[in-house]
Amino acid sequence: MKRTKVEIDGMQFQVVGNDDSEYIRDMAEDLTNRIEEIRNANYRLNQVQSLILTALNILDEKKKLDNRFEELSTADPKAGLSKEYLEEMDQIKQELSAEKEDGAIIKDQNKKFKNKIKQLEEKIKENSKKLNTSLEEGQKLKEQMKILEKDKKKLEEGNLKAQKEIVDLNKEISLLSGKGDAK
């Protein structure tokens, strides 16, 4: 427990308690100021009368605050609130409601976009399969083209060889026919 020395209306006191010394000094100064206000407003009062009247005013303030606290504790939460505050609360509720609606719209659009994305992904898979199939067929056609080109080359070589043989045979025939005529 702390001891704090204070002066109230010119009188010295030792206050014992757990509160901070500065807090106790502030309360003592406030009380002295209140006593002086009462004395200045009623110059005929002696010190004791000024103290009693100040105490009565403080008790009156406390009682009114207690009653107000009781009213607020048991009253409708909206009772006693300013009109501006209630209007602001209503506006906030409307904005929240609008945002919830916007949220629902966005959620619905998001769902539609997800479905569209899913459809597009399926089309991409389908087209990818078709493309792979086409690439495989193209590769097979390339291989067949190589085979056909080899066959063509062989045929051309065979044709050239056959033409040479024909030319050689024609020469031989012509030689043979020319010798047969000479005989």
Nearest CA-CA partner of 53 in 28, 29, 35, 30: 35
Higher-scoring residue by pLDDT: 95, 121: 121
Report whether pLDDT(130) > 70.
yes
Rounded average pLDDT over 132-139: 92
Q: Which amino acid is at 30?
A: D
76 pLDDT band (50/70/90 cuts)?
A: low
What is the chain's mean pLDDT, rounded?
A: 87
80 pLDDT band (50/70/90 cuts)?
A: low
The predicted-structure confidence for 12-57, as pLDDT tens digits, reads as follows 999 999 999 999 999 999 999 999 999 999 889 999 999 999 999 9
Higher-scoring residue by pLDDT: 78, 124: 124
Burial class (CB in 10 A: 0-12, 13-18, 19+), 50: buried
DSSP state of 10: T
Residue 126: its H or E element = helix 83-182
Report whether pLDDT(131) > 80.
yes
